[in-house]
Amino acid sequence: MNLILNFFSSVLDAIFPQKCVACKKDGTLLCEQCLCGFPVAPPAPLPFIHSVFDYQHSPTKNTLWRFKYKNARGFAKVFAERLYEEIIAELSDNIDAGSDEKYLLVPVPLHKSRLRERGYNQSSLLAKEIAKYDRSGMFEFAPDVLKRVRKTKPQARAEKRSARQANLHGAFTCSDYARVHGRTIILIDDITTTGATLLASKKALSLARPRKVLAFTIAH
């Protein structure tokens, strides 16, 4: 199924050249001018979460909907640089020039059944692209240390934070305590709403006693 989707995506790209999702300019999924015009995110619901753009901005919402549900995987490259800059800015006060610490880049996982349905995990694509900007070897891509062990209802169907938290109870587990212990974890996801998904992920990883857990998303 994934090969078929990739094939048809390539065919469509050849027949219908890419256009900016916001201004329809040819040759790009999202042009730099429009990206720079995306408004910044309001404060996240939890202090360990950092987001770049305001999800209530219609072009931002439309872009992320296509990225998440319409196989528009190229948006991972579009947003990775902004996320990388946000991560570096947040870590700058804690980075020791002489340190050899590697920060674990951990994408929020999908349940295996949902991964089969969608064909890709947008958070994993983002984390991979972010790692490509790391010229110093500071980041270590670690997609397997956090597992989604219970399939949950889509979070969009649970509007209240309490309902979202209940929906995610026991959904995640840390699969490699030794690798996480004492490390700084950088969680990556696409969208923050109430923060319930990222909080559940953090709780699962915290059982391995990491040094710190921070989370970064494209939008809130």
What would the pLDDT profile of 26-51 be if each residue is shown by its tens digit?
A: 888 899 999 999 999 999 999 999 99
Task: With respect to residue 75, please indicate whether it lies within any of the assigned structural domains.
Answer: yes
Task: With respect to residue 176, please indicate whether it lies within any of the assigned structural domains.
Answer: yes
Give me the residues paired with residue 147 across strands. 173
Q: Contact at 8 Å (CB) between 191 and 64?
A: yes
Task: With respect to residue 30, please indicate whether it lies within any of the assigned structural domains.
Answer: no
Taking the model in full, what pTM does it have? 0.87
How many structural domains compose the chain?
Answer: 1
Q: How many CB atoms lie within 10 A of CB 15?
A: 7
CATH of the domain at 212: 3.40.50
57 vs 36, 53, 174, 202, CA distance in Å? 13, 8, 34, 27
- Domain around 60: 39-219
* pLDDT tens digit sequence for 172-218: 999 999 999 999 999 999 999 999 999 999 999 999 999 999 999 99
Task: With respect to residue 2, please indicate whether it lies within any of the assigned structural domains.
Answer: no
Task: With respect to residue 23, please indicate whether it lies within any of the assigned structural domains.
Answer: no
Task: With respect to residue 134, please indicate whether it lies within any of the assigned structural domains.
Answer: yes
Task: With respect to residue 140, please indicate whether it lies within any of the assigned structural domains.
Answer: yes
Task: With respect to residue 92, please indicate whether it lies within any of the assigned structural domains.
Answer: yes
| Share in percent of the chain as helix, strand, coil (round to 5) | 45, 15, 40
